[in-house]
Structure 1
Amino acid sequence: MTLLVLLASILILGVTVYQYDEQTKDYNIKRFERKEATTIETIELELTNKTTYPVKTDNLSKIFRNRIYEISSINKLNISIFDLHGNLLVSSKTNAFEPNIIQPLPYDILNDLAQNSNHTILIPLVKDGMGYQTSYSYINDPKFKRIGILELQFTQDNSEIEHELKEFITRLSLVYLLMFMIAIALAYFLSSYITRSIKAISDKMEQTRLHERNEKIVLNSASTEIETLVEAYNNMIDQLEESAVKLAKSEREQAWREMAKQVAHEIKNPLTPMRLSVQSFERKFNPEDENIKEKLKEYSQTLIQQIDVMSSIASAFSDFAKMPTQKREKIEVISIVKLALDIFNEDFITYTTAETELFANLDKTQLIRIVTNLVKNALQASEKEENPVVDVKVSLEKNSIKIKVSDNGRGIPEDVKSLIFEPKFTTKSSGMGLGLPMIKNIIEAYDGTISFTSDEGVGTVFTVILPIQ
């Protein structure tokens, strides 16, 4: 609405200026035509009745020597008379005491005049900011024989009209400015009234969440269209809640199925060697064998080893299922990271830090768990390297602790980088793929982040950021 008022104002202003300009041109032309007709009539009357000289070209300068100034003054025109070849005979622009500075008529004017017969040629001209209207026509003797060329030049003074136009535009602009301000105010109040209900709907839509209970929209007064929109939104909320319940149930069932499959798979791995051991012992059992005790011990150790594997599987799934409790205590990070590294015997593990002491509110056990898991992964990634390197760095950045664990191992392939923190995913031949997801849960429970960069054949760098507070 405001834009329409603005465009209409600009358009009307432009049309007004154009109309004024066209009216001024028409007025000047008609005014000049009236003056031209009067002047030509006066010259013809002079040639017919008043002069005593023979009416011919050579006598035109004598006939109008003084009379041309009177005619020019009465009609307020500049008058010049030329012979048929365009040479000046007499002009009101000069006097007897000044040299002639008027040039002969150009050939194109003479040619146009000859082709137009006795019709007037009108030429508009703008020079030094002033407008001029100039006409050319033939002068005939009483027998209608051409004896000369008449040039009439009218000076246009449009200053008064331009002043009026400026005043009119100023007044019109003030009116349009007032209309524009009224339009803005009216548009504001109208839009506020119209969009009040839409704003309420949009606010509710922004608050809509899939896994949360969403409120329906209740409006006291609204148009039919808005009520239809509100009804559609409320129906969508009902359907969304039904879909959320179904989705949550489906996700839980899918999660349990996946977990059951994974547990079954991991348990089957140690059960197979246990079954083979029992079958082998059954076939080879001989009570009279003198080495029966050693064989029974070996058999028992095999079963115990596989039972321990099953126990570690159960513990791993239990640890992953439990979200780490956010136990916070003031601990000294530098010494605790060193303590976590002391359990490893590899001499190629290096530990560097620029800090002597670094305190933070974290869980000591969970921090050791994070460092241990990352170092263990680094050792497994670089175990086939000729000169393995595992480097652990701890530093302070602003209000956070940065722990970097890097290795020169085989690296992580590009196509599996996005799956590295997914449960059950692993690039190793053994393990359940729960280590990195588990420590990711721990880190995020403390509002921290974990990321990595890796190049195949070069190595991998894991970076952990943990806030101090």
Structure 2
Amino acid sequence: MIILVLLASVLILGVTVYQYDEQTKDYNIQRFERKEAATIKTIDLELTNKTKYPLKTENLAKIFQERIYEISSINKLDIAIYDLNGNLLKSSIKRISEEFESKIISQGVVTELVKNDNHKILKSRERKGIGYQTSYSFIKDSKLERIGILEIQFTQDNSEIQKELREFISRLGLVYLFMFLIAISLAYFLSSYITRSIQTISDKMQQTRLNERNEKIILNAASSEIEVLVEAYNSMIDQLEESAVKLARSEREQAWREMAKQVAHEIKNPLTPMRLSVQSFERKFNPEDEKIKEKLAEYSKTLIQQIDVMSSIASAFSDFAKMPTQKRERVEVISVVKLALDIFNEDSINYLAKDKELFANLDKTQLIRIVTNLVKNGMQAAEKTETPIVNVAVSSEGKHIKITVSDNGKGIAENVKDLIFEPKFTTKSSGMGLGLPMIKNIIEAYEGTISFTSEEGKGTVFTVILPKE
């Protein structure tokens, strides 16, 4: 809007100046033509009725000896009479000055005058704010024979007109400036009115989340276009909520179906050797066998082992299926982590604590679970390494506790890094792949984070950040 007003003002101002200048020129020419016509008519009357001299070129100076001044004064213009060769015969200006071109008309003017169909030339020029309109025409006798050349020059001082034009432009400029300020004000309030509504919509859109309840936009005053946009957004929110509910239900059902398949598969694994053991014992059972007690003990041991595997599967599934309860108590982290490492007998585990004591409000049991799970994963990753090493470090970083568990194992391949924390994903030949997802749930329940860096063939580093409070 501002640019349009500015361009319109400049264009209107330019057109106004141009039109004013053209009208001034036209007015001066018309005024000069009227004076010229009156002068020529007076000269013709002087030649036909009042002169006593024969109408010849050499007598023109005598005929208009004194009369030329009267005609010049009456019509307020300058008059000069030349012979047919362009030589000055008589002038209304007693001292020839630069207002007249010369005492002799140039041959070009004479030639142009002869060739012109009307036998008349009109020229305009301007110098130092003064405009000059000059006409050349032939003086003829009663028989229409050419006896001389008449030059009529009208001098127009344009300084007053230019002054009026400047005053007019100044007034017009003030009007345009006032309009420009009004345009800026209107543009500001209009844009503020529009952008305020758009900003509200933008803020709501940025806050829109698929898995959260989104608020609809309510505007008390808005343009019809904005209202249409708001209605479209509110309709989208309704559809988004419906889609989110359907998607969540579908994801839950799919997740539990996949989990059920995994649990069923894991349970079937120990059932097969149990079945084979029972069938073998049934075929080979002999009450009179001297080693019957030893065989019965071996058979029982096999069944107990498989039952323990099934029990661990059920426990892992149960631990993952329920969110860890946030039990907060003041614990000394350094000693708790050391306690978690004491259950491992391997010499490959190194513990480094920069502080002697480090307190935080956490669940001691869940902290032990986090450490043992990460250390166990590190040991399993490095078990095929010639010299396996698992380093555990605890340090304080401001309002947080940092726990790092690193190993020199095989590392994690690039194509599976995004799946590490996914349920039922595992790179090991046994297990359900619920360990890392479970401790991730525990850490996030305390508003902490877990991340890792890994390089194939060199090892992996897991970093856990937990708040102290």
TM-score (norm 2): 0.70
Matched, 1:162 2:165: yes
- 3-state SS, counterpart of residue 424 of structure 1: coil
Once the 2 structures are TM-superposed, how far is the Cα of residue 151 of structure 1 from its aligned partner? 6.8
> Which position in structure 1 is the counterpart of 2:459?
459
Alpha-carbon spacing, 1:79–1:373, altered in 2? closer, same or farther (3 Å)? farther
Kindly report which structure 2 residues correspond to 1:321-360, keeping only aligned pairs within 5 A, or say none: 321-360=321-360
Once the 2 structures are TM-superposed, how far is the Cα of residue 430 of structure 1 from its aligned partner? 1.1
> Which position in structure 1 is the counterpart of 2:425?
425
Once the 2 structures are TM-superposed, how far is the Cα of residue 291 of structure 1 from its aligned partner? 3.6
> Which position in structure 2 is the counterpart of 1:274?
274
Q: Deviations over 1:49-70 (max 9, x none)?
A: 4899999999999999999999
> Which position in structure 2 is the counterpart of 1:442?
442
TM-score (norm 1): 0.70
Q: Deviations over 1:7-33 (max 9, x none)?
A: 579747844662454144213322233
Distance, in Å, in 2 between the alignment partners of 1:109 and 1:408 is 108
> Which position in structure 2 is the counterpart of 1:468?
468
Q: Is the 8 A contact 1:9 1:176 kept in 2?
A: no
> Which position in structure 2 is the counterpart of 1:414?
414
Q: Is the 8 A contact 1:412 1:455 kept in 2?
A: yes
Alpha-carbon spacing, 1:97–1:182, altered in 2? closer, same or farther (3 Å)? closer
Once the 2 structures are TM-superposed, how far is the Cα of residue 360 of structure 1 from its aligned partner? 1.8
Alpha-carbon spacing, 1:210–1:406, altered in 2? closer, same or farther (3 Å)? closer
Distance, in Å, in 2 between the alignment partners of 1:282 and 1:208 is 65
> Which position in structure 2 is the counterpart of 1:22?
19
Alpha-carbon spacing, 1:464–1:47, altered in 2? closer, same or farther (3 Å)? farther
Kindly report which structure 2 residues correspond to 1:125-274, keeping only aligned pairs within 5 A, or say none: 130=129, 132=131, 137=136, 143-144=145-146, 147=149, 154-157=156-159, 158-166=161-169, 168-169=171-172, 172-173=175-176, 176=179, 250-274=250-274
Q: Deviations over 1:170-223 (max 9, x none)?
A: 56448747976997899799999xxx9999999999999877889999999x99
Once the 2 structures are TM-superposed, how far is the Cα of residue 437 of structure 1 from its aligned partner? 0.8
Q: Is the 8 A contact 1:79 1:153 kept in 2?
A: no
Matched, 1:32 2:34: no
Distance, in Å, in 2 between the alignment partners of 1:257 and 1:368 is 31
Distance, in Å, in 1 between the alignment partners of 2:254 and 2:209 is 22
Once the 2 structures are TM-superposed, how far is the Cα of residue 47 of structure 1 from its aligned partner? 9.2
- 3-state SS, counterpart of residue 411 of structure 2: coil
Q: Is the 8 A contact 2:77 2:152 kept in 1?
A: no
Alpha-carbon spacing, 1:342–1:215, altered in 2? closer, same or farther (3 Å)? closer
Q: Is the 8 A contact 2:120 2:138 kept in 1?
A: no
Aligned length: 462
> Which position in structure 1 is the counterpart of 2:313?
313
Once the 2 structures are TM-superposed, how far is the Cα of residue 290 of structure 1 from its aligned partner? 3.9
Once the 2 structures are TM-superposed, how far is the Cα of residue 454 of structure 1 from its aligned partner? 3.1
- 3-state SS, counterpart of residue 451 of structure 1: strand
Q: Is the 8 A contact 2:423 2:433 kept in 1?
A: yes
Q: Deviations over 1:337-372 (max 9, x none)?
A: 333333334444444454443322212221221122
Amino acid across the alignment from 1:160: K
- 3-state SS, counterpart of residue 372 of structure 1: helix
Amino acid across the alignment from 2:165: E
Once the 2 structures are TM-superposed, how far is the Cα of residue 468 of structure 1 from its aligned partner? 1.8
Amino acid across the alignment from 1:22: Q
Distance, in Å, in 2 between the alignment partners of 1:86 and 1:457 is 112
Q: Is the 8 A contact 1:126 1:132 kept in 2?
A: yes
Once the 2 structures are TM-superposed, how far is the Cα of residue 265 of structure 1 from its aligned partner? 1.1
Once the 2 structures are TM-superposed, how far is the Cα of residue 284 of structure 1 from its aligned partner? 3.4
Q: Is the 8 A contact 2:120 2:135 kept in 1?
A: yes
Q: Deviations over 1:315-340 (max 9, x none)?
A: 11111112111111222323333333
Worse-superposed segment, 135-144 or 402-411? 135-144
Distance, in Å, in 2 between the alignment partners of 1:381 and 1:432 is 16
Q: Is the 8 A contact 2:96 2:103 kept in 1?
A: no
Amino acid across the alignment from 1:261: K
Kindly report which structure 2 residues correspond to 1:66-145, keeping only aligned pairs within 5 A, or say none: 118=118, 130=129, 132=131, 137=136, 143-144=145-146
Kindly report which structure 2 residues correspond to 1:384-395, keeping only aligned pairs within 5 A, or say none: 384-395=384-395
Distance, in Å, in 2 between the alignment partners of 1:31 and 1:64 is 27
- 3-state SS, counterpart of residue 344 of structure 1: coil
Distance, in Å, in 1 between the alignment partners of 2:364 and 2:167 is 89
Amino acid across the alignment from 1:161: E
Alpha-carbon spacing, 1:48–1:244, altered in 2? closer, same or farther (3 Å)? closer
